[in-house]
């Protein structure tokens, strides 16, 4: 398969970026999107040209580091991370535009790589739980209904890739923060710091410069982990509860 690529190139955070036209020829249909970029980069290196910088780690849709925008969609077509997009999803001869996440809180490092440390700082603001550590307790000693356990696990599935903020017209991170707050607010282990966690994480989100939710639901549409936008409603309730109840 052959493709015409328009790839964002930017040497460093201070440099002016531009779209570079690159031909990707003889790409196997079964190749993943990142494998296609690997092939392109190998050819660029052979031609003594600078390869395209992009991030990746697990390449299994777990870590979220392969974050990029493909044809205007964060993480690309389908409901998975960019590493789970396969070239058979496109037609032979297609033009594909590839660019980094356009979020002020995610500054561009180089080409398609952005710095998503803002999410890490929000997590850090949430702090730790005071539950005693040590040997794993018997599962039967802490009774949790299946309904609550399922809801908590669904929220915990968030991989923190940043696609939600990249898709949102307001660059809101509320799906991400909502998932993290919802997860621990449902579990017994998260109750001691429940109030402080909601306040601290929302304050950190605002300090990082993320926008507010306006119910576009674009975040839910692109989330690789299929996190429900209902966690945003939970976040709002937790924040109001924390500001009202001392």
Domain extent listing, the chain: 3-110, 116-131+141-244
Residues 175, 167 contacting (CB under 8 angstroms): no
CATH class of 116-131+141-244: mainly alpha
User: How does pLDDT run along the chain (246 residues), one tens digit per residue?
Assistant: 999 999 999 999 999 999 999 999 999 999 999 999 999 999 999 999 999 999 999 999 999 999 999 999 999 998 899 999 999 999 999 999 999 999 999 999 999 999 999 999 999 999 888 766 677 667 677 788 899 999 999 999 999 999 999 999 999 999 999 999 999 999 888 888 999 999 999 999 999 999 999 999 999 999 999 999 999 999 999 999 999 977
Contact 112, 54 (CB under 8 A): yes
* pLDDT score of 21: 97
Class of 3-110 in CATH: alpha beta
- pLDDT, tens digit, for every residue of 166-216? 999 999 999 999 999 999 999 888 888 999 999 999 999 999 999 999 999
């Amino acid at each position: 398969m052959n493709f015409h690529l328009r790839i964002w190139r930017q040497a460093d955070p201070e440099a002016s970026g531009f779209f570079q036209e690159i031909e990707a020829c003889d790409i196997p249909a079964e190749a993943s999107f990142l494998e296609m970029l690997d092939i392109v980069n190998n050819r660029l290196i052979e031609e003594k040209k600078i390869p395209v910088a992009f991030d990746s780690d697990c390449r299994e849709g777990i870590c979220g580091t392969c974050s990029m925008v493909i044809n205007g969609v964060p993480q690309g077509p389908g409901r998975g991370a960019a590493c789970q997009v396969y070239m058979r999803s496109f037609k032979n001869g297609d033009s594909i535009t590839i660019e980094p996440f356009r979020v002020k809180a995610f500054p561009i490092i180089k080409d398609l790589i952005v710095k998503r440390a803002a999410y890490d700082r929000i997590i850090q603001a949430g702090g730790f739980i005071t539950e005693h550590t040590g040997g794993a307790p018997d599962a039967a000693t802490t009774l949790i209904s299946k309904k609550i356990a399922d809801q908590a696990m669904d929220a915990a599935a968030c991989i923190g890739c940043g696609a939600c903020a990249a898709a949102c017209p307001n660059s809101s991170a509320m799906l991400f923060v909502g998932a993290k707050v919802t997860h621990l607010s449902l579990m017994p282990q998260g109750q001691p710091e429940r109030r402080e966690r909601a306040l601290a994480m929302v304050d950190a989100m605002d300090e990082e410069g993320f926008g507010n939710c306006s119910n576009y639901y674009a975040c839910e549409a692109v989330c690789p982990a299929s996190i429900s936008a209902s966690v945003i409603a939970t976040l709002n309730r937790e924040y109001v509860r924390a500001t009202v109840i001392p």
